[in-house]
Structure 1
Amino acid sequence: MKRAAFKGCVNYVMNKPDAKLISADGVLLDNVNSIIQSFQTQRLMKPKIKHPVGHISLSYSPDDEKRLTDGAMITLAKEYMQEMNITDTQYIIVRHFDNGNPHVHLVHNRIDNNGKVISDKNDRYRNEAICKKLKDKYGLTYGKSKDKVKQQKLRGKDKTKYQVHDGIKGALKRATDWNDLEELLKEKGIGIAYKYKGQTDEVQGISFTIDKITFKGSDIDRSFSYSKLDKLLQEKAQKQRKEQEQSQSTNQPSNQNINNNPKGIKR
């Protein structure tokens, strides 16, 4: 997140119950006001930048809590910053204990120590790639589902993405083919678009749109890529056909039943 003022952001992360400042650089640590003033002074090197505040929450699975000492949290946060090119600037790293997930808040100055602006170009995509890289490097737990995300805290595009996620998940409970899925999602105001390979009819990608905001299927959830959705729908259709065949077989009279009707009574 990018913000306009350091005061509200620093007060939020520092004044939470049990908040613990575990690392900092380039700021005076006498009190909260001195931290804020340190950030403010440096941002004056680029006063026209509207959003000089960088605020990132690095949150982990409760399964990894025993491993996530303060030292481990600092190592991960600093490596994350290095990978995101958040370097040579002021920052504080504050640990919170309020939501059941081990997490820290990183507040940094987007105006670096030389008065240059730290770029936020493609930061959402870089963030995703770097988080995966660090989880793989340190063997951290991947989230198994989006069901436990506290959606009431989400805003903007992130909130919309989870709205689409829940819509697709609900529709998949009833859909047995692509036509079903399209109709069920249409009822929820969600449209589907397919990406084709060249000038062929071969589908190689899918996207979902709601309120003029579009997401690639795999960006919503790894299980919502075209290939994985197609496989799921084919399996459901096959299961439905088998159930119908079994039902028809059960309802048809067998030859044995006919032969055991010596009186020729009509059934």
Structure 2
Amino acid sequence: MPIHKGGRPAISEGRRKKYLLSLRLDAEGVTPPDVREIVQDFNDQTLLNPRIKNAVGHISLSFSPKDGVRMIDALMLDIAQEYMQRMGITDTQYLLVRHLDQPHPHCHLVYNRIGNNGQTISDKNIKIRNAKVCRVLTEKYGLHLASGKESVRRERLREPDKTKYEIYGAIKVALPQSRSWEELEKHLKAQGISMRYKYCGSTNQKQGVLFGKNGFEFSGSKIDRQFSYSKLSRHFTQAQQQTHYRATLAKGFHAAIDNYRSAFTDLFGNMGGSVNKGHADAGSINFGGNIGALPLPPNDSSVRLSAAHLQRKPGESPEEHIARITALLNTVAEAMAIAAMKQRRKLRDRKANKPKMKL
């Protein structure tokens, strides 16, 4: 999947040379490979709108290594050109080059934010627009999703990025095991990572979190946007709600099991003891654990329940499964209770209508 990187830096001498040493895919309004002429071409066009401070736009489009075999220059150029059209980068100077220094295919686009007619190439909401465009292109061209931070070659990182990625990895592992700030802090402390909060003015209201290691300290959002204070707080709230919800589900499920067993015994006898008396046995289903086997109504009973009804359906989450079979067991238990009541009523009527013997 193509992903956008970078912002709008000026072209450094090292970057200029790197672009020109790479494979040029396309260019418009500039005269490569001469570095000075390219810079002069860009500078000349910026005079059309000198109010724009950041006149040079830079975008990196990166693709998954899984697309390496099929990502020939022609396909990369097609994707890059369509990306530019969808992002509104048109009627302006640009240079598009492919880099071959990484295991994943990628290319760099340098463009003039001042168009050929002096118009401004907008960078408003560029991250949001980029994400939407990349999703469209990923689906259209059948590309693999880029793996983000997990694909970074950390052995090549220098400080402070090296430590930042170490903290990122530690939080990524610890977070699923943590239901509160205290649990997260405990997990990170075991790996030599400190955690402290930022407060709003002189109040006790927390508004940020910082993680530290090796003498470096980063705010959660600088490590990754998903680790900002607000998003982590939301994660812990949802985790606690999920824990409470699961406990409620488990309580309701066990109550349904008890109701079902009681209704089954009332209708068919002790754990199905009377099932064999004129009934076709439907067997049982084993839930394991402290629940064990649950007897099923006989096949010729008016109350229907089979093992298939209690199995987890494709795509059904564990919580959805428990909620569904809890409701099902309660419904069947109610039906068995009604059937047992009717059975007792028939028995009473039969006794009441039985003729008395005369002595």
State the shift of 1:47 in Å. Answer: 2.7
* Residue 87 in structure 1 maps to residue 90 in structure 2: yes
Aligned partner of 1:110 among 110, 113, 121: 113
Matching of residues 163-182 of structure 1 within 5 Å: 165-172=168-175, 174-175=177-178, 177-182=179-184
Cα gap change, 1:228/1:165 in structure 2, threshold over 3 Å: closer, same or farther? Answer: farther
Deviation sequence 1:41-81 (CA, Å, 0-9, x none): 11122234222111111111111011111111111111111
State the shift of 1:178 in Å. Answer: 2.8
Q: Which residue in 1 is equivalent to 2:239?
A: 230
Q: Distance in 2 between matches of 1:118 and 1:24?
A: 17
Contact 1:111 1:117 in 2 (8 A): yes
Unaligned runs of 5+ in 1: 192-206, 239-248, 250-267
Q: Distance in 2 between matches of 1:227 and 1:136?
A: 33
Aligned partner of 1:188 among 188, 195, 209: 195
Q: Distance in 1 between matches of 2:72 and 2:33?
A: 25
Q: Distance in 2 between matches of 1:122 and 1:161?
A: 26
State the shift of 1:88 in Å. Answer: 0.9
Contact 2:58 2:109 in 1 (8 A): yes
Q: Which residue in 2 is equivalent to 1:204?
A: none
Cα gap change, 1:209/1:29 in structure 2, threshold over 3 Å: closer, same or farther? Answer: same
State the shift of 1:208 in Å. Answer: 7.2
Q: CA RMSD in A?
A: 4.2
Contact 2:97 2:109 in 1 (8 A): yes
Cα gap change, 1:230/1:165 in structure 2, threshold over 3 Å: closer, same or farther? Answer: farther
* Residue 53 in structure 1 maps to residue 62 in structure 2: no
Contact 1:22 1:93 in 2 (8 A): yes
Matching of residues 180-259 of structure 1 within 5 Å: 180-184=182-186, 187-189=194-196, 209-210=209-210, 211=219, 213=221, 217=226, 226=235, 230=239, 234=243
Q: Bigger shift: 30-39 or 60-69?
A: 30-39
Q: Distance in 2 between matches of 1:13 and 1:74?
A: 16
Q: Which residue in 2 is equivalent to 1:194?
A: none
Question: Which has the greater radius of gyration?
Answer: 2
Unaligned runs of 5+ in 2: 1-6, 199-206, 211-218, 248-289, 291-359
TM-score by length of 1: 0.64
Q: Which residue in 2 is equivalent to 1:199?
A: none
State the shift of 1:120 in Å. Answer: 1.1
Where 1:98 maps in the other structure, the secondary structure is coil
